[in-house]
Structure 1
């Protein structure tokens, strides 16, 4: 919670999968269900509208979807990113979104937690963390976790109710809240 303002901690959740039944999206939805009382998690749904990153478009007046994304990042106290691994790398939609933040003023120093939804997705998780560190994110290690969702067909409610996964996610969100600016 932002103690000085009394307002809830605002967390922008970014899902790096565009699939409707994505375990990454379900993990973020579960996080929203388990968020501490004074935390509000909003899942950003504008990634499909972001154009491919092009430095020629990244000037004083970037495309409207980019402005919307940067504004959402700027208004958030922290970010929560959950993205799949494709071909041993970060999903293209995730990398594209991050590329649009590289030259922005809204991102550097922002507390970020990474949720990995598959215990086998180690390459993308490492690459994503390296990218975030390079971009001057404040990576919150205590809030960055791997959820054992591989091979399990759990929706958001099932993830939240799972006796092992739910508490792990709840602790991670508590660590993210503690790292967010007051």
Structure 2
């Protein structure tokens, strides 16, 4: 245990996701030894992101303006809406360069253990967006884990009566993976989502 400011910094860094006690200590000592100007730029960047960044009033993606760049882009396909859990998922889909529609960020996934139900997510806002007659398909792109599956199932049941095509991203074996290392759920999904190679 260190004294004063050093221990406070380690404790705060340890609260970050994916940062354990040893990593927090390593980062804290890196900060102590780093050039003061570099650390000033880091603290300014953290302050700026907290002061300037907000959530898009349409899709809830991160933005420095009232609406995000994707919602402002008139070239995006308004007929397809991809529903994701977090803003980082928008960037993951965008990196594929294979989707040109619009997004809706839920702000998480249903997780009763963590006290997160449908009311804590942007599901009501999603339903409001569906009153737009231009939307023809909703792609549910939640994570392929227990919480993501629960969220996708909830959304699919709720959207069934609306009359809009609802699809789910395919899941299965990763490229370059080995069958022997795949878990049962992943392998089962791969069998369910198989496609014909002939014809």
Q: Give the helix-richer structure, 1 or 2.
A: 2
The structure with the largest alpha-carbon Rg is: 2
TM-score (norm 2): 0.36
Q: Give the strand-richer structure, 1 or 2.
A: 1
TM-score (norm 1): 0.39
